[in-house]
Amino acid sequence: MSFLFGGGRPQLSSAQKIEAAETELELVSDMFNREGDLNKAESVCIDRCVAKFFEVNMKVSEKMQSEAAGRQGSGGVGGGMFGM
């Protein structure tokens, strides 16, 4: 719990990282498999929402990469969230 008091994030062992990834995979798989419990309108809504999420995620990623490339090209002067 030292991470709660400024000690940084705890360092996870490889086994802990694998266990966390397996747990996440199980949760995602469970949610994916539950889609059969949804009606058609709910499934369409979720599909559209996920598609929009990934579209925005890609746009943000591209924007951040282009800004990082611009900062590297200008020698790293300026920077910051608001270009200051």
pTM over 0.75? The answer is: no
pLDDT band at 27 (very low <50, low <70, confident <90, very high): confident
Q: What is the pLDDT of residue 29?
A: 82
- Mean pLDDT over 62-69 rounds to 92
Q: Is the dihedral of CA 56, 61, 64, 67 positive or negative?
A: negative
77 pLDDT exceeds 70?
no
Asked whether residue 78 carries a pLDDT value surpassing 70, the answer given is: no
Q: What does the block give as tokens for 43? A: 């499934």
**pLDDT mean across residues, the chain:** 79
How confident is the model over 30-53, as pLDDT tens digits? 877 776 677 889 888 988 998 999
Per-residue H/E/C for 54-81: HHHHHHHHHHHHHHHHHHHHCCCCCCCC
Average pLDDT over residues 58-83: 78
